[in-house]
Chain A
Amino acid sequence: MTGSLSGVASVIGIGQSDWVGDHKRVRAGERPHDSYGYGAQAFLSALADSGIARDEIDGLIVGPTTAYERVGELLGLNVRWGGQADAMTAVMEACMAIRAGLASVVALVYGNDQRSAQVNYGGPDAQGGGAFLAYVYHAPWGFTSQGALYAMMARRYMHERGLTQAELGEVAVAQRLAASRNPRALMRKPITVEDYLASPFICEPLHLFDYCLINDGGVALIIAEAGKARRAGRAPVAIKGVGRYDLNRGATSLEPRLLDYYLPAQQAVAAQVFEMASLGPKDMDALQIYDSFSLHIPLALEGYGYCPVGGAGQFMRETGISLAKGLPVNTSGGHLSESYMQGWNHQIEAVRQVRGEAGDHQVEGCRHVHYSSDVAGKAISIIYGA
């Protein structure tokens, strides 16, 4: 494929802050670090993991919650190229910059103090409304919070596609099982579908266990040009494919959510990413799916062809989506049970799985991991491979 980004770059280092330890401290009323501090800790751990020297880094992308220049200043990074992006866009842009020759080693640094800073995702100060009008436009009717948008979507999706509440509960149950085997996860006590159904509604039909956590932390990745990555100290994990398609039309009035469930975007991305990687759904050993809410999982399973459209409920219930059964999804516990790092924790989990370093939550013989997000109709996919 002309201009393909397949195999152009590899992840050579991953790092994170101490999510579990800091969560305890925040719950005890402390503010251990700010967003920059969490990002700095994650960066140091990724740099150590990569084995390269700091002055080899010539590109920098920071997460949406920190200022680009200040992160560069704090980490002492003068670079040739840089910017600010969410997790999935950052990985894609790093590949693009490397392909274009604008950078050869890009550090991706994310830090977020959303819990200790008491960030609200709903109500009068709803976060994100500057970028996504739907987050604030329906406030006069009390319709607020990203969870409510997914609840509205879930209700109609369940009606049209026949997904039951108990089938949706399979997501929270599977991810909690993964988290129970992951020492980096915040919520490790296993739950059952019965526990799920008995948990309180936040915005009905979504229960408490359908919602992501809110916690502080940082994540970092070091992405290098493939040749350079091979010469670095350890086994690189290749980025084999990336794809993106956005549904913007009718976004504020919820049309792509309520009429399409983002399906056309995901199908367009599936075609791009699988072709670029010369792989298909059957080659994927694990999925990491951006899960601010559980509903993302059935949407992605259908959108990327892991099951027929309308078949996600049956797939989750019968085939399975856990480390115990079927196709493992969100093998670290994801946003629901591991840590809410806005898609960044999924990237480092994908790398750990391909490296075979995931410990008790390792998928045996894992060679390829598919990452998917459909946040606000922006469908993005990345395929990681050995």
Chain B
Amino acid sequence: MANSQPVVALYDAPMWESLSRERMQLQSCGHCGTLRYPPGPICTTCTSLDYRWTDLSGGGEILSWVRFHRAYFDDHPPPYNAVAVRLDEGPIVVSNLIGPEPEGEWIGRRVSLVYRRHLDRTQHAFMLSEQP
């Protein structure tokens, strides 16, 4: 086994750099405003090539989740969870839920983006939001 590694292609690098500053950014389409995840060269909605890097609000909702019971990476000893979060701005990201876990149903719960040092990088994670 070995540690997990991010895919850092050309368009991913600024996103990882923004994570290291604990201010995650994604590309916002210069024409229609659609956010790109994973980062990429073209808007999948309107095909515009224009974009600017924009901050995220940090809010989202759990779409689904799993719990790993098998070891795949040295840096992720089981059991651990993974969540698919729909960001308020639209994209779906896969991350980890840290802190207290929901009692009962996870799907539909509001979560907030937080930053976590992991190995030599800073990556996103999510925590349950305060109940309104």
**B residues near A204, Cβ cutoff 8 Å:** 66-69
Give Cα A148–Cα B44 distance, bound, in whole angstroms: 25
Closest to B76 in A: A142
Is there contact, CB below 8 Å, between A254 and B84?
yes
Give the number of A-B contacts (CB < 8 Å).
110
Chain B interface, number of residues (Cβ within 8 angstroms): 37
Residues on B with beta carbons closer than 8 Å to the beta carbon of A200: 69
* C-alpha spacing A140/B118, complex, angstroms: 9
Min C-beta distance of B123 to chain A, whole Å? 5
The docked-state distance in angstroms from the alpha carbon of A133 to that of B7 is 9
The reply on A31 being an interface residue by CB < 8 A is: no
Q: Are A124 and B2 in contact (CB under 8 A)?
A: yes
Q: Counting CB contacts under 8 A, is B114 at the interface?
A: no
Q: CB of A155 within 8 A of chain B? A: yes
Closest to B70 in A: A202
Question: In the complex, are the beta carbons of B44 and A249 less than 8 A apart?
Answer: yes
- Asked if A140 contacts B72 (CB within 8 A), the reply is no
Q: Does A252 contact B (CB under 8 A)?
A: yes
Partner of A155, one of B3, B66, B68, B92: B66
B92 touches A133 (CB 8 A): no
Closest to A137 in B: B7
User: Are A133 and B66 CB-contacts (below 8 A) given A123-B73, A141-B95, A142-B80?
Assistant: no
In the bound assembly, the distance between CA atoms of A153 and B72 in angstroms comes to 19
Task: Give the docked Cα–Cα distance between A204 and B125 (Å).
Answer: 20
With A124-B1, A133-B7, A201-B69 already in contact, 16 other A-B pairs whose C-beta atoms are closer than 8 Å = A136-B7, A137-B7, A140-B123, A141-B4, A141-B96, A143-B82, A152-B66, A159-B64, A202-B69, A203-B67, A203-B69, A204-B66, A250-B44, A253-B92, A253-B93, A258-B64
